[in-house]
Structures are given as C-alpha cells and as structure tokens.
Amino acid sequence: MASWVGMRATATPAQLDAVARAIRQTPIIDHHAHPLLKPDALAKHPLLALTTEATGDAIHSATTSLPHLRAVRQLASVLGCGLSWEAVVAAIEDRRLQNPDDWTATCLSGIETILVDDGLDGDDAQPYSWHDDFTRSRCKRIVRVEAVAEEIIRRLARKLGDDGDSGTNAPAPVFDMFVEEFETMVKTALDDPDVVAFKSVVCYRTGLGIPLAPDNDAARTALDYIVLSTSASGLELQKLRDDALNNFIVHRVASLIRDSPSKQKKPLQFHTGLGDNDLSMTSASPSHLQTFIRAYPTVPIVLLHAGYPFVRETGYLATVYENVYADIGEVFPCVSQDGQERILREILELCPWSKILWSTDGHWFPETYLLAVMQMREVFETVLCDYVRKGHIGWRAAVDLVRDVLFKNANKLYHLDLDFSELQEDVTGVLPGACQTDADLLRTFLKDQPTPDFVRICWTDYTATPRMRMVPFRKFVTLLNEGKPTDIGITKATLGMLQNDLLVPGASATGEYRLHPDFSSLKVGPIDGHISMQGEFREESGARVALCPRSILQRAIEYAAEHGLSLLIGFEVEFLLLERTPDAQHQYTPLATDGHAWSVSRYFSHPRLATLLRDMVATLASMSIHVEQLHAESCPAQFELILPPLPPLEAVDTLLHTRDVLHALATQAGYKLTLHPKPFPRACGTASHMHLSIQSPDGENPNVYGAFYAGVLKRLRAICAFTYPTPASYERVRDGCWAGGRWVAWGTQNRETPLRKIRGSHWEMKCIDGTANPFFAVAAVIFAGARGVADRGRLEGVWGDCEMDPAVMSENDRAEMGVKEMLPASVDEALRALRGNKELVEMLGEEVVERYVAVKKAEEGLLGRMSEEERRAWLIERY
C-alpha cells in the first residue's frame, strides 16, 4: 500500500456534492434588480414578460421559446400545478389572492439582500425598502442617473411655464440650474449610506459610444431646446434622446464619483447588451465603453447582463481593466439553458472570477427572482462540476468561486460589510468526507483489507439486469497514480438493450457514454478478490446522462429536497433457493418441503441451508451491511432477509450489492437463487418490499406524510410500470395472499393493500418485486410522493384507511373508502398508465419514459414468443 503515496485522482462524489451544496446554500447578494409591482399595478404588465424582453404584439411569440417552456416546467413544479402556461398563470393568480406575502417570500428565498434600481415604473412599484421584509439583510438603493436628470428637466420646464418665461429662447441660467441641481442630487446620493451605486441606461438612450470628453456647449444647447419645447407645448419629457446631453450626464456622474473624498468609491453600473426594442443592438456592446473606462480608472464600472450577446467582450474588459466588473444577470431566465451554460463558460474563459457578479435583474413579478435563482443554481452546478471532474479547477476553488460570485465580490464592491461567515450554511461541515480524494477513500477503505484482484464498476440497465466492467486492481491504481480518469467508455446501446443484448427500436450502438465510478459506494465483494462500486453514466462533457437510472434517482432525491423532504428506505430481500437439474425442459426444481411454512424453524436445522444462511449474514456483515432479520417465507426454500434503513441512493446501492453477494454464495453452495416473482404457479410469490419513512423535521406531521403517500396513491398505477415490470410480476398479483392485493388502497397494518401504514411516516410498499430496476422504482415513488407534498395532497377524504382486504369489501364500502381503481393487470396496462400520467412523465423525463416503454414492449414481445415453461426458466436464469 506504500506505493499509493502521492496518488492523484479525479473528484469524488463527496467533493462534487460540496460544490453543489455551495451553489444551493450560499446566500445571494442580488446586486442589480428592480422593485416588485404594487398589487393594483400587476395587471398593467403581462406575465409573459417573465422570460422575454419582447413587448407589444411580439410578446405573444414568447410561448414558443425555450426559455418560456423551461419556465413553465419549473414554475409548475414549485406551484404544484399542471404543465401548461394557463395552469401556471391560474396558480400564480391564486397565490396572489390567497397568500401573496408567503409566495413572495418563497420566490425571494435564498437572497440575502437586493440592490434595487428604483428608477423604473415610478408610483406603480414598491419602494426599495419594502423588500426588506423578504430578505435577511436590509435592501439598498441604486440611483438611475437618467431618471434623476429627466425629473430635474421636467421641474425646470414646469417652472419656466409657471413663470411665463416660455418664448423663443430659454433663460440663460437654465443649464447652470440643471447642472447645480443634478450635482447636488448626485452628491447627496454619494453621502447616503442607503445608496450603494449609480446606474446608467445610456445604452437605451443613445448607445454606449460615449466620447472621451463631453461636449458641454452641445449639451447646453440641447437642454435649452428640450426645456423650451416641453414648456411651450405643455408636454412633459419622457426620455432623454440627445447624444450630447446623455454623454454629459454620464461623464458628470463619473467625475463626481472620481472626485468624491471617500476612498470607497461607489460603482457606476451600465446596462449593456440585451434589452427591449427601445435600444439599438449595434451600439449595445460594452466594447464601445472602452474609451470611457480608460478616462475614469478609479471609478468602479459594472457591465450588466453579461453584455449578451457580447459576452466575451464583457469578460475581456473586466479582465484587462482593474476597475471593471462583469455581471451575468438577466440571462437567467431570458436565455435557454444551453445558452446560459455557454454564457457562464464564455465569461470564465478569460475573466477572473473575482471580477464576476451575479444578479437576478428581477422586476415587476416575484417569479422573475424565483426563476433566476433556480436556473442559476442548475447551470452553475452543471458547468462547475464539469470543470471539477475534468480537473480544470479543484473542488475547493470551485466552492470559493461560488461564494465569491454570489456573495463576496458584491459585498466588497458595494461596501456592504455583511458577514458571510455568520450568514452561510456550513457547506464543508455538512460533508465530513468532502475533503477526501478518490485515492483517500480507496486507501481508507482497504486499510484493513487484503489487496484485491479486481475493481468492479457496476450499473443496472432498463431490464434490471445487473452489469459491470472489471478493471485489474493494479491498472486501476496506476490510473489514479497518473492522475488519469478512472471512468470507462460504455456503448450508448447499454441503455437500450434486452437481457439477450438485442437492441430495442430507438437505441443505437453508435456513440459512447462514460461510466464514472462513485467511490462513496465502495463495497468489498461480492466474491473474494473483488471490490465493487456503482457507476453513473456521463456524457463526454461530464454532464449527466438523462437516461442513466442512477442519475434519475439522484434527480428524484434532489426534487424531494427542494420540497423539504429527506427519506430513509429499507428493503426486504425475498429469495428462493432451487436445485439445478440436467432436464432441459425443467432446469430448476424446488427443494424438498419438509413442512416448510412462513417463519418455521425446522429449515434452519438443514446442514447445507443453515451454513449458507449463516454465511450470507456473516459475509454481508463483513461488508458493513448489517442484516436486521432473517426468516423463512411461505414457499419451500424461500427466505426473507431484511436490510437496514438508509438514504435512498445508499439503500438501492446496498440492495443491489446484497443481491450479488447472495447469488454468489448460493451458487458456490450448489443452489440457484432466484428473485422470480412467481417461479411455481401453485406456490407463494416472491417480492422485494420497500419500507419508507420521512426523516425531514416535519416528516411525522400527518399533513406532510399524508400528502406524500397521497401523491404515491394518485400515481400508483403508473408507478407499477417500474415496480411490476414483467409478465411474471402479474402472475404474483393476487388478492388474499399477503401480496398487497390488486386495489389502489392503503391500510394501517393491512398486508392486503399495496401501501401498508406501519406507524407515522413509516409505510411499506408491497407492490414491487425483484425484476424491477430499483433505481427507477424508488425514483418514481419519490417523485410521486414529493409532488403530492407540493400539491398539498390529502389522504383524508380521498382514500380511507382500509381495515380489511379491499377484495372482500362490497362495492359501496370500497367507494366510501375511495378505493375506486385497480392496479394494472399486465405490463401493457401499466405502460399505458405511465404514458398517460403527464406529471410523472415530466418529472422522470419524456426521453426516459420513451426508452423504458420501448424496452418493455420489446421484452414483452420476446417473452411472448416463449412457452410458459421456457419463459419461467428464462427469467429464473436472469433474476
């Protein structure tokens, strides 16, 4: 083991998790946003503006844009409504009526403070300080300089009209009066602790091509004309459109900031890049500001909105000028996900992250804040974790990047003096092993173990067939020592093939995924000389593969976490031991009964069986898998082994490894172990029951766990596509035999319902067997349950607590208990139920469901061409 010293490695899942936690938990200083509208002004602005800068008739086309469609999915998930724009609008309007403050608080969750540009929408908007109720620290103000100048000009024009001085020439001192009042307001703002910055929208007015010095004479002439003409007409100035006057205003503000006595200069923000059709895109590139930037080297200048689409220009200016900073706001949520990822990558191509800031550019509606934060976290995680995996940046540096961009850079630039250490979640503290490399994990894991011969990297395909690649241990260690990736190239066909390796329609042998080992899942075995890890499929870029079963479960866990849920799951492993025979027609036969029955003791006196069962428990214990119970089940040589409760991903990984261990030991002892749901028509079936409990702080609240299991019951017929995935599954589904029955129902300690309540949030799901891919099955249950919580679903008044077998209840009694549906009776019926459940399809992913259905249809066709005995033997061989 001494040769391991100095081993280098790719990032571990724990390290990637540390980066992801930083992204999700770092408090956000939203350094540029706008006020929310007052309730009576909401109707003046279209909700479609959430994801677009389009206005007027052009805004209606937004419904066919990728940003809009993504926003609909995300808002529907948070609101717990249907996946349509109409449903989202209705749900938002309901929140506005029922709990507007609660909804606003939800939308602004995670934002530490907002720096508010309040120069937009006037009396329709809430004052900047109003937002204090929804942020942890007091909000601050950004002064929009054009709004200040325009208001002064309006007052001067009104005064001129009131004094009766309107004529062919404006009074000589008008310009001087304007300058004096403008400078006074700017200096007042410089001294005001609630004002942290200034902002210019000259990009909208006359473009960013600001000359090196202002033309004061031209500015004076322009102001005289504007004051005179508006005074004479009685019309008020709307927006300044004069080049000379706009340039004068911006220069004067920059000069006042430069000349202010304070060493802590307040920044000057510039709108750059995308906006509504009021600006000229050809003059919106921040590169036009280069001359102006050079003229004021001590004035901090912030280029807003990534300068999109001039992102690289923005990054360049922030890189080469000490006083320039790059903001990457507004593109969340106004640009597609791929576009946002590209923007983040482009800004990081050149620009130091110490010069990057993030903002929501939230305005009008609280949903703009919500979408911006959700999408930023999603994109940051994709891009930064990809960089960490590739070794472009260390995981600690990635955490620093996140904290700097989201909090520290703005805290320093705007002199906010907020204490990050008191505000942040303890990102590193919640991950005791986060600092360990893959090599550290492997070294610690094998500290008291003999050096293995092989490393297994495992996955489970769409037919629930466990597969793996083996790497000789010396080769694996060499890869780590040389700092090379330990992932393995696997054909994309693997997620679209049957048990006999035939491809299903839509799958192709073209292309390759990378199978990344998860070192946190390391286990000894399942046989001597081997160690094993579960793997996750990634694209070449490092991005998650949408079709990867393990990644789908991870998404489900994340979805549940977004709704405040954490779970523990434990599995019952039922298995049957068979004798092998040379008879080609009947390859496996049951063992002699000897009066075998449920929980009888005599079978544990059988020498071979007693030894095998003892070795199973001992071997698992040596792998830190501690069996909680072991007993005989009803079918001859059928046993049940109960695993401990674990977090969902660890529970599934443990289940799969346990099955591998049991298969190996049974084979070595001369038996065939099978998970076949109904290996013999007249004997009891074999299941893989799953126990669930909600571990989050509010988990034992009946409203919470009731909503969770209501969500499961509501989608149970669709879930059966994953939990009862083969024709053999439906041979087991019977009433009156402790198999969970055929009705969509639940009952306290009722083993004839598919959901059995044990106590509190601890329930058992009985409608699952060993032919199911547990990643899919658990993911579907978690998605469904979490959606139930999001929907605030209810058991009470919908499904009653069945105290008896629903099969023996009268039709009226079933109706009173809400028992109205039966579980599917076939794979085909279950797949139709899955396809018809739009919510579950959306959560799992349409691509996933399409591929799963294709595999199951092809598998059904393959099995349908076999005789009953051939099919039984074929499945016993594989499960």
Residue 420: inside a domain: no
Q: Which amino acid is at 139?
A: C
Task: Let me know if 505 is exposed, middle or buried by CB neighbors in 10 A (0-12, 13-18, 19+).
Answer: exposed
Question: Of 281, 344, 283, 278, whose CA–CA distance to 311 is shortest?
Answer: 344
The single-letter code of the amino acid at 503 is L
Tell me: do 829 and 687 sit in the same domain.
yes
Q: Identify whether residues 796 and 704 lie together within a single domain.
A: yes
Q: What is the pLDDT of residue 799?
A: 85
* Residue numbers of the chain with a pLDDT score lower than 50: 1-9, 422-435
* 559 and 637 belong to one structural domain: yes
Over residues 54-91, the pLDDT tens digits come to 888 888 898 899 999 999 989 988 888 888 899 899 98
Q: DSSP string of 237-281?
A: P-----HHHHHHHHHHHHHHHHH-S-SSPPPEEE--S---TTS-G
pTM of the entire structure?
0.58
Rounded CA gap, 332 and 330, in Å? 5
Residue at which a domain ends, from 524, 548, 572: 548
Q: Are residues 570 and 503 in the same domain?
A: no
Q: Average per-residue pLDDT in the chain?
A: 86
Q: Say if CB 296 and CB 338 are below 8 A apart.
A: no
Q: Is residue 190 part of a domain?
A: no
Whether residues 533 and 643 fall in one domain: no
* Confidence at residue 309, expressed as pLDDT on a 0 to 100 scale: 94
Residue 779 covered by a domain: yes
- Burial profile 262-296: b = 16 or more Cβ within 10 angstroms, e = fewer: eeebbbbbbbbbbbeeebeeeebbbebbbebbebb
User: What type of residue is 424?
Assistant: Q
pLDDT in the model for residue 6: 32
- In order of 462, 706, 719, 796, the CA distances from 818 in angstroms are 33, 15, 19, 10
Residue 150 lies in a domain: no
How far is Cα 6 from Cα 409, in angstroms, rounded to an integer? 35
Are 739 and 673 within one domain? yes
Short-list 613, 740, 649, CA closest to 688: 740
Same domain, 680 and 535: no
DSSP 298: T
Tell me, what CATH number does 644's domain have? 3.30.590.10
Residue 346 lies in a domain: no
How much is the pLDDT for 428? 32
**Same domain? 494 vs 574:** no
The answer on 522 and 573 residing in a single domain is no
Q: How far is CA 15 from the centre of its chain?
A: 17
Q: What is the reported pLDDT for 231? A: 81
Q: Quote the strand ranges of 564-656, DSSP E.
A: 567-580, 588-590, 629-632, 638-642
DSSP state of 815: H
Whose tokens are 């070192």? That residue is 519
Residues 519 and 637 in one domain: no
Residues 587 and 702 in one domain: yes
Which domain range does residue 821 map to?
A: 554-835
| Backbone φ and ψ of 593, nearest 5° | -70, -45
CA 103, 108, 112: angle at the middle one, nearest 5? 145
Structure tokens given for 315: 């990054």
How many C-beta atoms surround the C-beta of residue 255 within 10 A? 16
* pLDDT tens by residue, 825-856: 899 999 999 999 999 999 999 999 999 999 99
Examine the fold and report which residue of 521, 548, 575 is the final residue of a domain before the chain moves on: 548
In 3D space, the residue among 131, 48, 51 whose CA is nearest the CA of residue 92 turns out to be 48
| 533 and 588 co-located in one domain | no
Residue 444 lies in a domain: yes
129 CB-near residues (< 8 Å, 6+ apart): 138, 139, 194
Q: Render 334-399 in DSSP notation, one character per residue.
A: HS-HHHHHHHHHHHHHHS-GGGEE------BSHHHHHHHHHHHHHHHHHHHHHHHHHTSS-HHHHH
How many CA atoms, within 13 angstroms, populate the side-chain half-sphere of residue 257? 27
Total domains in the fold of the chain: 2
CA-CA-CA-CA dihedral for 201, 206, 207, 212, to nearest 10: -100
Residue 212 CB neighbour total at 10 angstroms: 9
CATH code of the domain containing 439: 3.10.20.70
| Measured distance CA(724)–CA(744) in Å, rounded | 14
- Please work out, in degrees rounded to the nearest 5, the angle formed at the alpha carbon of residue 817 by the alpha carbons of 812 and 821: 85
Paired tokens of 68: 């809009």
